[in-house]
Structure formats: C-alpha cells, structure tokens
Structure 1
Amino acid sequence: PIIIIIGIVVGFIAIHYSNQIFMGSLSGNSIPSFEGMTTMIVLVTLVLCIPIIILGLYLFPAVILVCEDNSKGVIQCIKESFKLMKGNVWSLFVLYLSFLGWVILCIVPGVVVAIIAVFSFNEMLITILPLIIGISFLWLTPYMNTTFLNFFNEISGYNNKPIYNEINPLN
C-alpha cells in the first residue's frame, strides 16, 4: 500500500509537469525543461523512499517472528518487531551496507559478459547472462541470510538459549 501511495504521488507530479509542458507549447510560451521535471520526480521519490526503508528495517524481524511461533498473530509480531529493532536499526542498516561490496562483486561477471555479448553480437552469451549472475548469488544469498538470522538471534537474545539438547555419550 505504501508503494502504491508513492506511485500515485509521483504520478500526480509527473502529470502536473506534463500538463504544464503541453499547455506551454500550445500557447507558444517557452517549454519548461524536462530536466526540472525529472529532477523533481527523482527528489520526491527519494524523499518518499527514505521512510519506507526505515519502516522495512523496523519490520525485518516480523517475518522471522511469525515463522517462529504460529500462535502469535501478525499484529503482535509487528509490535514485537518494533520493540526488538528499537536501538538496532542503525546496526541492521550498516549490516545491509556491509554486503554492498559482495553484491557488486557478484554482478561484475554478468556486466563483463553483457559488455562482451553486446560488442560481439553473440546470442549465446546473452542467453547465459542470467545464469552467470545467478551462479554468483548462489553462494552469497545463503551467507547473507545466515548473517541476518544471526543478527536476529543477537537482538532477540536467542544466543543465550541452547539450540540443541546435550548429547549424552554412550557408555
């Protein structure tokens, strides 16, 4: 719903500027630049995306909480998520940023193959491009998910609880 609201706001801004450009061209006045419209749309989108990113960081543990205990309701898990993330939002944001280099490193082989494919007009390279990018993310995605689950365990206090029962050695 929030993304729909952002789309509506950006759409209205684009329609407003488009009408100004169209009416200006009909009346013979100078046409306002598209650069101004594009700049305005980008700025509004960025301003509206910041609260959504922050909300997404606050809601990060909600899915894990729902999966962990089926008896809890969704609203209760969202409330617990806000409690868990209070004071930890910046840590999670930095954790996400720490993977930025890895993501770029995973995309680089695909970009190189794409450049080679464009200049050599090789259809086979274009066909296997998603496979090349996908293979690199095959190792990164589990690593990222494990790191995020460990972050959740740390903020929720599950590190202090034993995960496995003690195994008694056979006599």
Structure 2
Amino acid sequence: MDRRELKMGAKEAMRVAAISPYGVTIIYGIIMFIISGVQKALDDWGMILFQTGEYEDLSQLSSYVLISLGFFIIYFLFSSILDFGYQLLCLKFSNRDSSMSYSDLFIGIRYLFKVLGLYLMMFIFTVLWLFVFIVPGIIATYRYSQAVFILAENPEKGILQCIRESKEMMIGHKFEYFVLELSFILWFLLLFATFGLASIYVNPYVTVTKANYYNALKPKAAADYEYTAFT
C-alpha cells in the first residue's frame, strides 16, 4: 500500500473538511487534559499517603481507594467515548462526509455499552496476550487496530464481530501497518519538542491517514455497501 498516497489523501481530506479537524482535536485535548489533571492529583494524593505513612489510617486508605476506583471508571468511560468519536470523525474526514459535526465527538454516548464493551474486550485480549509475552501483546494491538473503524462505519455489528473482522483484515498486513506508524516518527518527536502543542496538527493527520488505510484495506464487498457511519 502506498504510504505517500495515504498521507497526501489525509492532508487533502483535512483541507476540505466541513469542520475543522484542528478544532475537534483541541476540544478532545482540553477534555482529556482536565481528566488527566484529576488523575494526576489522585496519584499525588496516593504518593503523599505512602510517604507519610497515613495509608495505615484505614479511613484515609479506604477513601483513597474508593475515589481512585470511581475515577478510574469515569476516566475509562470518557476516554473511550472521546476516542471513539474522534476516530469516527477522522473516518468521516477520510470519506469526505459532509454530515460531520463537532457533536460527533460525543456520539459514543448513543451506543455507550457497545463502545465501552469494544474497548474493554480489546484491552482484555491484549493484556492476555501480554501475559504470554510482550511481542504477542504488541502484535495483538495491530490485530485489533481496525475494530473501532469497523464499529464506527457499521454500528449494527456486534463487539466480537468487529474484533474478528479486524483480525481477518490485518492478516498479512500487521508489519505494513507497523511501518506506516513508524513513518510518523519525526512527527512524534515534534510532539515532544513542542510539549504536545503540535498534536493539534499531528493527531488528525495521523488518524485520518489510518482511516485512509482502513478504507483501502477493508473488503471490497464492504466498500460497495451504502456508507452507514453514525449521523
């Protein structure tokens, strides 16, 4: 697959998009920054408890554990919904879909349990492979890499069906996908050099390129169906 063509297509799709991919990325980034800030505060609280020995106070320890567990659920909820919405929008950018809107970033709420279930199952399967060895765990991430796009384009499909179809699509393409991600290494270095500010451009560029890859990779039979992404 021609990486240069995929990337040029992503740039063109971003240029003609009905809404700003950079604006979407900023909204996504601000929300995740706030959530990550709360998580950092909880981590600092835990560190203080252990450094001062206050973890021996059961009331303090139980409060920390309960709040941390509750926020972990909230973090997983928001991050899954936002990531799904972001990938859906990038797929719409790739498809030049004029129905896109900023509210699509939160469209995962409409199919909350299916979205959460998909991310949870991918996480569980990947962790199980990591228990076998690190390399199989890394390979698993590529094996399931198309599942979110599949669900975004076909919301009627089941969780395991999306995962299974992603596995089938990636047969013989996992190394190719790895090379595609590796080709962005200089852009990722730019993220570090700019303390993440470059993500406003880099994140949509990378994700729309991956959406282009998905469109090029998916079975032709699926490409012949009417586009059914969330609207």
Q: Which ranges in structure 1 are unaligned for 5 or more consecutive residues?
A: 22-31, 111-132, 165-171
Other-structure match for 2:223: 163
Pairing 1:4-43 to 2, within 5 Å after superposition: 4-9=37-42, 11-12=44-45, 15=48, 21=54, 33-43=56-66
List runs of 5+ in structure 2 lacking aligned partners: 1-32, 157-214, 216-221, 225-231
1:128 counterpart residue number: none
Give 2:147's aligned amino acid: T
Structure number with larger C-alpha Rg: 1
User: Is contact 2:80-2:116 (8 Å) kept?
Assistant: yes
Whose relative contact order is higher, 1 or 2, with alpha carbons under 8 Å and at least 6 apart?
2
The answer to whether the 8 A contact 2:129-2:137 is kept is: yes
Is 1:62 aligned with 2:62?
no
Report the Cα distance in structure 1 between the residues aligned to 2:91 and 2:137, rounded to whole angstroms: 24
Output the amino acid matched with 1:6: Q
Aligned-partner Cα distance in 1 for 2:140–2:50 = 42
Amino acid at match of 2:141: T
Q: 2:39, 2:48 → 1: CA distance?
A: 14
CA 1:99/1:20 → structure 2, altered by over 3 Å: closer, same or farther? closer
For residue 86 of structure 2, what is the amino acid of its counterpart?
A: A
Partner of 1:146: 146
Cα gap change, 1:20/1:142 in structure 2, threshold over 3 Å: closer, same or farther?
Answer: closer
Identity of aligned residues (%): 13
Moved segments of 4+, more than 4 Å: 12-21
- Aligned pairs for 1:98-109 within 5 A: 98-109=121-132
